[in-house]
Amino acid sequence: MVEFSKALTARETPIPGVVLYDLPVHGDNRGWFKENWQREKMLALGLPDFGPVQNNISFNEKAGTTRGIHAEPWDKYISVATGRIFGAWVDLREGPSFGTVFTAEVDPSQAIFIPRGVGNAFQTLEDNTAYTYLVNDHWSADAQGQYTFLNLADETAAIDWPIPLEQAELSDKDKAHPRLADVVPMKPKKVLVLGAEGQLGRALRKTYDGDASVEFAGRAEFDLTDPAAYERNWKNYSAIINAAAYTAVDAAETPEGRRLAWEINVSSVARLARIATSNRLTLVHVSSDYVFDGTRETHPEDEPFSPLGVYGQTKAAGDAIVATVPAHYIVRTSWVIGEGKNFVRTMASLAERGVEPSVVDDQIGRLTFTEDIAAGILHLLASGAEYGVYNLTGDGAPVSWADVARQVFELTGQSAAAVTGVSTEDYFSGKEAAQRPLNSVLPLHKIQAAGFTPADASGRLAGYLGVHPVSTDDSVKRNMGY
């Protein structure tokens, strides 16, 4: 009998992500009606917005028909249309919950959500039983090769079938599936890191070291300017971290640089945004303080764009595109320091060689070390933080580039007095250079509220100079703003 007038509720199960729903069913002398799947109400209860693209119905004429434990490479939402079933679910995903079992009798007043990789099996308890299911990928013969199976009679799962299997109707294939000890767990979807050879890409490699689900792609593996690079099976991915960008601030003002900046920072980002939206991926994109003109004391996440030059304009355009992706994190940072050529290494090299530089003292901000950006990205993805824009820089008091240079000189055993402060206007007088924002301070309240606190920039600087060899290449000093 169908139970009428239940409230819509969600019940967690021992298998992570598997949720059993009670559905309101309304009946009278004519029969009954239910809302089998109501997106808005169920999202409010925590159902993932899984994007179904196909609706299937399975009809079973006789009680005792039993369908094997199949883990599929997509999510499913299952409900009985008529009759009654005994359902058995076994977690066949790689991870600590592998092998966890949940069983329940299900009638038309219930539904269950099954994530990718969780094995599901059904045994009909009444004649003429039919159940319907939504899936978020189109079935194909190729997809069958990605299934994972478990034998219905597996002794470890020890499922107590209401109708003994020797009396049930089974397929020969289901009888031949492996025991749990021989099952190869379904691997998680992958995270793709683009720009893996850059400063942030290298930090992400260290942060995700040992995680086989993270795939790294440098330009050789994924050329952002090549449309063919975007042709892959995106259903196998859960997120894209775009750590690639055109960052040559001054060169972006030239005809060739302008073209490349728009191609990499805007056109390529638009391709990634379309892919993320159509495949329901999370897109992580790294932004810059250069999207602002630097005239305000601080730049919160919701400040309107006001870029001064081509580089900032392309980064602002990229941010606007990424913001249209339903699942996105825009990580806005400034004054980035990592493994490679950068301002700190340049200053350390000058100090070592006894050079006394002039450094701009009217640009204010905080250094951001790539290990903190990488850790912050991991935190946002792993914690499921609310999507949106997050400022992420080093913590501590804002300083000028000249202050940073003086600290570098002191930390390397030289005199801070060797660094002379100069205004941005005077430093760039007579030179072809892009405009810089004078104030790049990004408040950190939002990402701190999300559970991540970046390290103090001064402490990071001391550690950085203690463990990284000094570079003798000072060719990047103008692009770093001094």
CATH code where residue 363 lies: 3.40.50.720
Residues 156, 198 within the same domain: no
pLDDT single digits (tens) 159-175: 999 999 999 999 999 99
pLDDT single digits (tens) 188-208: 999 999 999 999 999 999 999
Q: Which amino acid is at 337?
A: I
In a domain, 33, yes or no: yes
Active site amino acids: 70, 133
Residues 144, 240 within the same domain: no
In a domain, 480, yes or no: no
**What are 12's strand-pairing partners?**
19
Distance CA 192, CA 238 (A): 8
In a domain, 417, yes or no: yes
In a domain, 270, yes or no: yes
Domain boundary among 119, 149, 182: 182
In a domain, 30, yes or no: yes
In a domain, 129, yes or no: yes
Domain boundary among 147, 162, 182: 182
Letter string b/e over residues 370-380, b meaning 16 or more CB atoms within 10 A of that residue's CB: bbbbbbbbbbb
Residues 410, 264 within the same domain: yes
Residues 225, 297 within the same domain: yes
Q: Which domain holds residue 65?
A: 9-182
Sign of CA dihedral 299, 305, 308, 314: positive
Residues 284, 248 within the same domain: yes
CA distances to 92, 185, 271, 329, 346 from 98, rounded to whole Å, are 5, 8, 36, 30, 50
Residues 246, 385 within the same domain: yes
CA dihedral 272, 274, 279, 282 (to 10 degrees): 50
pLDDT at 200: 96
Residues 141, 253 within the same domain: no
In a domain, 229, yes or no: yes
CA distances to 74, 213, 364 from 119, rounded to whole Å, are 11, 21, 55
Residues 263, 364 within the same domain: yes
Report whether 201 contacts 193 (CB < 8 A).
yes
Residues 20, 140 within the same domain: yes
DSSP 289: G
Task: Name residues of the chain where pLDDT drops below 50.
Answer: 467-482
Measure CA 53 to chain center. Answer: 22
Residues 260, 330 within the same domain: yes
Distance CA 418, CA 110 (A): 75
CATH code where residue 135 lies: 2.60.120.10
Number of domains the chain contains: 2
Report the largest interatomic distance among the alpha carbons of the chain, rounded to a whole angstrom: 95
Residues 265, 143 within the same domain: no
In a domain, 482, yes or no: no
**pTM listed for this prediction:** 0.86
Residues 147, 272 within the same domain: no
